[in-house]
Amino acid sequence: MDIRPLHDRVVVKRIEEGETMQGGLYIPDSAKEKPQQGEVVAIGKGKKTEEGKVLPLDVQVGDRILFGKYSGSDIKLDGTEYLIMREDEILGVLSNGAKK
């Protein structure tokens, strides 16, 4: 199933942290905080101005982003969890060091 967010919303898939051991102790999934990094999997057309113009989003599909702890709304599609959030809830885009 595909999803197309509306206006200035983006669909994000959380990027899980790989390590479950901290200081030799196992941290159960219920006690771990959800990651605050994700990958953009779909974007809306953009934000509409008062004049009716559509401003394109700064993020692109495939960008790795940082977002706040309580940002977005959780949804589940085909057994996979996603977040839908507005572009202004995104704190930053992570770069891999390569020049574009």
Within a domain: 1: no
Give pLDDT tens digits for 36-91: 889 999 999 999 889 989 999 999 999 999 998 888 899 998 888 999 999 999 99
Could you give the number of structural domains in the chain?
A: 1
Quick one: how far is CA 96 from the chain centroid? 17
Residues 6+ apart with CB under 8 A from 29: none
Residue 21: domain span? 9-94
The pTM score is: 0.74
Within a domain: 99: no
Look at residue 23 in the predicted model and tell me its pLDDT: 58
What is the residue type of 49? T
Within a domain: 84: yes
Within a domain: 56: yes
Within a domain: 72: yes
The torsion angles phi and psi of 90, rounded to 5 degrees, stand at -80, 130
Q: What is the CATH number of the domain that holds 48?
A: 2.30.33.40
